[in-house]
C-alpha cells in the first residue's frame, strides 16, 4: 500500500510542478533533487532485490562496504549498465517535464506543494523505510536480555574422537529436495540425506542470509551484524574477536582446520573470519590455481565444484592417512545466483521445468551430484567410521531463475548429518535455525550443546522454539551483536607496522591502507578494496570539519600537503580537516608509533574546495616534478601532456596493457630535443622477451630487446622533425590474469616499465 502511495505522491508532485509552478531556478533544483532521490531509492531497491530477493538488507550493506575481491561480476554487468542508463533517462525526462512551463511566472504555493509532495513520496517509499530501519538498528541500545541467551561454550572438547567434514552448498536449500515439486532434481544427494539425521525445519533469520553471514551463524551461533561505520572486515585483522566459534574450539582441542572453496577467499572477508577463528589452512581461487590440473577451467566466481571437491577429497585422504585430528570445511559455488554454472564433468547438465530448461535447477542437479560423489568416496573409505559429515546450505537461494518456483513451497535451509561412528536414519521436524548448526555439531563431537545463540537440536531447545517472534528478537539484539566486534571508539597513540602493513590502536588492528573518520563518539574505519573508491575519493566526500586520519602510500597524499614526498612509495600518515590544517608524517621505521594531534582550526572554504579538487584528480592526470617517468607511482612528470596503453601502478612499476591502447604512447608538452638518449629500465612479459620491440619518435625508429628480468637500455635518437610523442609497440601482447584484479577482464601485457628518462645530447 505504501508503495502505491509513494508513486501517487511522486506523480502528483511532477504534475503540479510541471503545469502550475512556473519558472524559478531554486524551486526547480530542490524539486528535481527530491524527485531524483525517489528515483535513486527505488532503483537501489530494485537492484538490491535483484540480488537478494529481500530488498535492501544487511546483506547488501555488508557486501557493498566490504572486499568484493573475487566476486563474479560479469553476469551483473548488463543489469548494472541498464540501471545506469535508466537513471540517466529518467533524470533527463524529469528535468524536461518539470521545465515545461518555465516561461510562466513563478507560483510560490504550487512550488511549495510540489516539493512537499516529492518529499512525502520519498518518506512513503519502501526503499526509504528499509534504509531508515537499517540506520536505526545501528543506533539502538540493544535488548537487556541478550546476555541471558548468549552463551559462550567451553573452549575445548574434553575427549575429541571424530574428524569433521562440513560441506556448505551455495544456496542449496532443502526446498530443492522436495521430490513432489521438483521430481528427480536431487536423487544422489537426496538419497544420502535420507540415510542420515535430516533436520527438516531450519529457518533463516536476519543477518544469516548470505554466504559469510551463514558461515558466521553456523560456526559462531550469532547473526552477522557489522558496524555501519565502514563495515570494515575487509581491513580489520580480527573478526568478532570476543566470540568463541567452532573453529576456535576445534583448534584448541588439537584439530587442524582446513577450508577449501573455488572463489577468492578475500570476498566478503571470509579469509579474515576464518583466520580469526582457528583456521590455519585456507584454499581459495588463488591457492588452488597453483595445484589444480587445469587452472583455466573456472567460472566467473572461481573454480567449478568438481575441481573444488576433488581437491577436498585429496585433502581428506591425506589428512586421514596422517592420523592427525582434523576438520575439513568446503564451500561450493556452482549454484550461485542468478542462474548458476554447469561443470563439464557431471552427467546431469540439464533440468527442465514447465517444458523448458532452467539453468538454476540444472546447476543444482549438477552440483548435488558432485557433492554426493564426494560423500560416497568418504563413506567407502576406511576412515568414515571416525568421521562426521555435515551438509548444509549457507543460506536460502537468492533471486535466481528458480525463484518463482521456490516461493511456491515452504522454504527451509538444508542441514543433515551422516555419522560414520553411529549410523542412524531419522527426519527431525523440530523448529530450529542456522545458528543451531554449530551447537549441534559441537554436541556430536562431545562438547557443549550451546554456542552463542545456537542450541543443539539433539539435546537442547532452539531459540526458534522459545520465541515466537525470533526474527524481531534477533533484530532487537543487533546492537549487542555489533558490540562483539569490539571496534574502538577513540584513537590516540597508534602503531604502524610497515612490514605487516597494519595499523594498531585501542586494542584493534587494521590492514593498510586505511582512512578513519574521527569524532568524539566514534572512530569509523573506511577500508580500500579493489572495487571500492580509492581512499582519496572517499576522503573528498568528508565535510570541511570532519576529522580524519589517513594512512596510505606517501605519493597519494604528498601532492596535496607534502610535495617533498611526492615520489615516495613508503607509508605516510596524514591527519587534520579538509577545511582546516593537515599534517603529513613519514613512516620511516619498521614499527612506527604516532600520536593523533588533530586541532580545531578555522575552516577555510577556499582551502576545502582546493583540497577536494586535488583529491578527485584522476590518477593519470596527476603530475609531479622529476627528471624521469617513474612508473611505480600514479601520474607522470610535469613535462608529459598525456599517455595511454599503460596499466595501473604496482610496487615495482607498470605493465603496458594492449587493452588500453595497442602501444605505449607518451605525449610531451614540448618537442623532444633534437638529439637525445632514451634510457629505459624495463622487462618483457611472456613471448615479448628477446623479441625486437619498436620504439619510435616521429619518423625515427629504434629497436629495444628485453628479457624477463629488469634491465637498463639506452637508445640514441635524432629528432629533426621536433616530434613530441614517444611510442613503444610490444610485438606480442599476451592475455593473462597474472597480477590482475579478480573479476576484471584479463590484461594484455607486453613490457613492464620501471623508469624512462630522456637526456638531451645537443651540443
User: HEC states along 123-157?
Assistant: HHCHHHHHHHHHHHHHHCCCCCCHHHHCECCCCCC
Cα–Cα distances in angstroms (integers) from residue 745 to residues 294, 300, 737, 742, in the given order: 19, 11, 8, 8
Of the candidate ranges 33-47, 610-624, 647-661, 682-696, the one whose mean pLDDT is the lowest? 33-47
Average pLDDT of the chain, as a whole number? 87
CB atoms inside a 10 Å sphere around CB 26: 9
Query: Are residues 582 and 575 in contact, defined by beta-carbon separation less than 8 angstroms?
Result: yes
Kindly report the backbone phi and psi dihedral angles of residue 224, in degrees, each rounded to the nearest multiple of 5, phi listed first.
-90, 95
What b/e sequence results for 134-171 when a residue is b if at least 16 CB atoms lie within 10 Å of its CB, and e otherwise?
A: beebeeeeebeebeebbbebeeebeebebbbbbbbbbb
Environment class of 389 (CB within 10 Å of its CB; exposed 0-12, middle 13-18, buried 19+): buried
What's the pLDDT score for residue 692?
Answer: 97
- Is pLDDT above 90 for 269? no
What's the pLDDT score for residue 77?
Answer: 47
What's the pLDDT score for residue 599?
Answer: 80
What's the pLDDT score for residue 483?
Answer: 86
Q: For the whole prediction, is pTM greater than 0.85?
A: no
Per cent of the chain over pLDDT 70 is 83
- Is pLDDT above 80 for 461? yes
- Is pLDDT above 50 for 71? no
Partners of 451 in beta bridges: 454
pLDDT: which is higher, 232 or 174: 174
Quote the CATH superfamily of domain 153-483: Alkaline Phosphatase, subunit A (3.40.720.10)
Dihedral class, residue 71 (left if φ above 0, else alpha if ψ from -120 to 50, else beta): beta
- Is pLDDT above 60 for 98? no
pLDDT: which is higher, 127 or 455: 455
- Is pLDDT above 90 for 201? yes
What's the pLDDT score for residue 70?
Answer: 38
Interval 671-679 mean pLDDT? 96
> According to the CATH classification, is domain 623-760 in 1.10.3720.10?
no
Q: pLDDT tens digit string along 232-264?
A: 454 566 788 889 999 999 999 999 999 999 998
What's the pLDDT score for residue 496?
Answer: 96
Cα–Cα distances in angstroms (integers) from residue 494 to residues 91, 382, 539, 551, 592, in the given order: 46, 53, 20, 11, 8
Sorted by where each begins, the domain ranges of the chain are 2-139, 153-483, 493-617, 623-760
What gap in Å lies between CA 727 and CA 392, rounded to an integer? 57
What gap in Å lies between CA 468 and CA 463, rounded to an integer? 9
Q: pLDDT tens digit string along 599-608?
A: 878 889 999 9
- Is pLDDT above 60 for 212? yes
Amino acid at each position: 500500500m505504501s508503495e502505491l502511495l509513494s508513486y501517487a505522491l511522486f506523480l502528483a508532485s511532477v504534475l503540479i510542478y510541471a503545469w502550475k509552478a512556473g519558472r524559478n531556478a531554486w524551486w526547480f533544483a530542490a524539486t528535481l533533487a527530491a524527485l531524483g532521490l525517489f528515483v535513486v531509492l527505488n532503483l537501489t531497491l530494485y537492484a538490491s532485490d535483484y540480488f537478494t530477493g529481500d530488498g535492501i538488507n544487511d546483506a547488501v550493506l555488508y557486501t557493498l562496504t566490504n572486499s568484493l575481491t573475487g566476486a563474479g561480476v560479469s553476469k551483473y554487468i548488463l543489469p548494472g549498465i541498464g540501471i545506469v542508463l535508466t537513471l540517466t533517462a529518467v533524470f533527463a525526462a524529469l528535468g524536461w517535464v518539470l521545465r515545461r512551463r518555465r516561461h510562466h511566472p513563478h507560483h510560490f504555493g504550487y512550488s511549495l506543494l510540489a516539493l512537499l509532495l516529492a518529499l512525502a513520496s520519498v518518506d512513503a517509499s519502501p526503499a526509504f523505510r528499509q534504509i531508515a530501519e537499517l540506520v536505526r538498528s545501528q543506533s539502538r541500545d540493544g535488548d537487556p536480555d541478550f546476555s541471558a541467551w548468549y552463551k559462550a561454550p567451553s573452549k575445548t572438547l574434553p575427549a575429541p574422537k571424530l574428524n569433521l567434514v562440513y560441506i556448505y552448498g551455495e544456496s542449496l536449500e532443502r526446498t530443492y529436495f522436495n521430490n513432489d515439486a521438483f521430481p528427480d532434481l536431487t536423487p544422489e544427494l537426496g538419497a544420502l540425506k535420507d540415510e542420515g539425521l535430516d533436520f527438516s525445519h531450519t529457518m533463516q533469520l536476519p543477518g544469516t542470509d548470505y554466504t559469510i553471514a551463514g558461515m558466521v551463524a553456523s560456526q559462531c551461533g550469532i547473526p552477522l551484524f557489522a558496524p555501519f561505520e565502514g563495515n570494515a572486515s575487509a581491513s580489520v585483522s580480527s573478526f568478532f574477536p570476543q566470540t568463541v566459534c567452532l573453529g576456535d574450539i576445534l583448534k584448541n582441542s588439537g584439530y587442524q582446520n582446513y577450508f577449501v572453496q573455488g572463489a577468492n577467499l578475500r570476498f566478503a572477508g571470509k579469509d579474515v573470519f576464518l583466520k580469526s577463528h582457528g583456521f590455519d589452512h585456507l584454499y581459495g581461487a588463488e591457492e588452488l590455481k597453483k595445484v589444480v590440473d587445469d587452472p583455466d577451467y573456472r567460472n566467473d566466481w572461481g573454480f567449478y565444484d568438481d575441481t573444488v571437491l576433488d581437491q577436498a577429497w585429496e585433502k581428506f585422504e591425506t589428512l586421514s592417512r596422517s592420523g592427525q585430528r582434523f576438520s575439513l570445511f568446503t564451500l561450493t559455488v556452482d549454484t550461485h545466483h542468478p542462474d548458476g554454472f554447469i561443470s563439464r564433468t557431471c552427467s546431469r547438465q540439464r533440468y527442465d521445468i514447465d517444458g523448458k530448461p532452467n539453468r538454476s535447477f540444472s546447476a543444482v542437479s549438477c552440483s548435488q551430484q558432485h557433492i554426493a560423489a564426494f560423500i560416497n568416496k568418504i563413506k567407502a573409505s576406511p576412515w568414515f567410521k571416525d568421521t562426521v559429515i555435515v551438509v548444509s546450505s549457507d543460506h536460502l537461494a537468492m533471486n535466481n531463475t528458480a525463484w518463482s518456483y521456490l516461493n511456491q513451497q515452504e522454504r527451509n535451509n538444508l542441514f543433515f548429518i551422516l555419522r560414520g561412528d553411529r549410523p542412524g536414519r531419522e527426519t527431525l521436524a523440530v523448529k530450529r535455525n542456522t545458528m543451531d548448526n554449530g551447537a549441534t555439531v559441537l554436541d556430536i563431537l562431545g562438547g557443549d550443546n550451546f554456542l552463542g545463540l545456537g542450541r543443539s537440536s539433539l539435546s537442547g531447545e532452539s531459540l526458534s522454539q522459545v520465541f515466537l517472534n525470533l526474527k524481531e528478537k534477533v533484530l532487537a539484539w543487533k546492537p549487542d551483536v555489533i558490540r562483539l566486534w569490539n571496534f574502538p571508539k577513540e584513537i590516540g597513540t597508534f602503531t604502524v607496522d610497515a612490514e605487516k602493513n597494519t595499523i594498531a590502536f585501542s586494542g584493534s588492528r587494521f590492514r593498510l591502507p586505511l582512512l578513519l573518520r574521527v569524532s568524539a563518539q566514534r572512530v569509523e574505519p573506511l577500508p580500500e578494496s579493489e572495487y571500492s573508491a580509492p581512499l582519496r575519493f572517499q576522503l573528498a566526500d568528508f565535510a570541511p570539519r570532519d576529522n580524519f586520519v589517513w594512512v596510505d602510500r606517501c605519493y597519494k597524499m604528498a601532492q596535496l600537503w607534502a610535495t617533498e614526498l611526492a615520489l615516495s612509495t613508503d607509508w605516510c600518515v596524514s591527519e587534520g580537516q579538509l577545511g582546516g590544517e593537515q599534517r603529513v608524517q613519514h613512516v620511516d621505521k619498521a614499527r612506527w608509533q604516532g600520536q593523533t594531534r588533530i586541532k580545531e582550526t578555522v575552516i577555510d572554504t577556499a582551502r576545502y574546495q582546493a583540497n577536494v579538487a586535488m583529491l578527485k584528480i584522476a590518477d593519470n592526470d596527476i603530475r609531479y616534478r622529476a627528471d624521469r617517468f617513474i612508473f611505480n607511482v600514479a601520474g607522470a612528470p610535469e613535462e608529459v601532456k598525456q599517455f595511454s596503453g599503460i596499466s595501473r601502478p604496482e610496487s615495482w612499476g607498470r605493465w603496458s596493457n594492449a587493452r588500453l591502447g595497442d602501444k605505449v604512447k607518451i605525449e610531451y608538452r614540448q618537442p623532444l630535443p633534437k638529439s637525445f638518449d632514451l634510457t629505459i629500465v624495463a622487462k618483457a612479459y611472456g613471448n615479448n622477451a628477446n623479441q625486437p620491440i619498436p620504439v619510435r619518435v616521429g619518423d625515427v625508429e629504434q629497436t629495444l630487446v628485453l628479457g624477463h628480468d629488469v634491465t637498463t637500455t639506452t637508445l640514441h635518437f635524432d629528432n629533426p622533425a621536433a616530434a613530441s610523442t614517444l611510442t613503444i609497440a610490444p610485438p606480442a601482447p599476451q592475455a593473462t590474469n597474472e597480477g590482475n584484479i579478480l573479476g576484471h577482464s584479463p590484461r594484455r601485457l607486453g613490457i613492464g616499465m620501471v623508469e624512462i628518462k630522456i637526456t638531451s645530447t645537443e651540443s
